[in-house]
Amino acid sequence: MKNIVICLTLLLLTCGAVQAQKIVIKSGSLDPIKSEKFFNITYDYNDVSVGKFENEEDYINKKVSEYNTKEPGRGDRWKEAWIGDRKARYQVSFEELLNKTLESNEIYVGEENTDSKYTMVLKTTFIEPGFNIYITKKPAMIHVIFKVVETANPSNVICEIISKNNPGRTFGDSDLDTGIRIKEAYAKCGKELGKFMIKKIYK
């Protein structure tokens, strides 16, 4: 009984630490894209802060040094995976859930749609990697800026949306890998942005 109480307490503390997801339009409107069905998409990871680190590079350097000290080469492999997960995991998950949410309205978003009138730009501004140490866990979280720009003139921003506190978590111990937690945050972000777009465009 005592162990059950402890586990429930830890679960409540973990859940309570998660801030509510928030999506708001900072500028512009989605109305101009109402008649469009295909969109290009690009990703921007410049100027990202990670956890308590203002600069992602400082976070990477610290992790590489720590891991290489424990096992030569481990830090370098970790860095390669950290960067590689962007295209291999995060972007795939984001697009998959975004398109799944938009498919009922016959809208498709993909990097191959370079001739589309509009391009969506997903800029990541913050990543909380989270952790899972069996007895307790903290979900990953991302903040992003989502823009719709004119493909032929990217400086023409049609709409800018701020999406904060996108959580990344799974049940059980399937998210021991940092990349899996963050991938789930991008999936959640894609799903909620898709729902937000439908609500605003087809209101």
pLDDT, greater one: 173 or 138? 138
Burial of 171 (0-12, 13-18, 19+ CB in 10 A): exposed
CA distances from residue 35 to 11, 101, 162, 182 in whole angstroms, order as listed: 45, 17, 23, 33
Domain ranges of the chain: 19-201
Using CA atoms, how far apart are residues 160 and 182, in angstroms rounded to an integer? Answer: 23
pLDDT of residue 139: 84
Under a CB-based contact definition with an 8 Å cutoff, are residues 55 and 66 in contact? no
Q: Indicate the range of 9-13, 51-55, 72-76 predicted with least confidence.
A: 9-13
Class at the top of the CATH hierarchy for domain 19-201: alpha beta
* pLDDT per position as a tens digit, 16-52: 445 788 999 999 999 999 999 999 999 999 999 999 9
pLDDT of residue 8 exceeding 50: no
> Which residue from 199, 184, 24, 43 is spatially nearest to 109, judged by alpha carbons?
43
pTM: 0.87
- Mean pLDDT (the chain) is 88
**Residue keyed to tokens 């309205």:** 105
> Which residue from 129, 101, 85 is spatially nearest to 188, judged by alpha carbons?
101
pLDDT of residue 32: 95
CA distances from residue 187 to 64, 141, 154, 193 in whole angstroms, order as listed: 27, 11, 25, 10
pLDDT of residue 135: 63
Using CA atoms, how far apart are residues 171 and 194, in angstroms rounded to an integer? Answer: 24
pLDDT of residue 130: 85
For 49-106, strand residue ranges (E) read 49-50
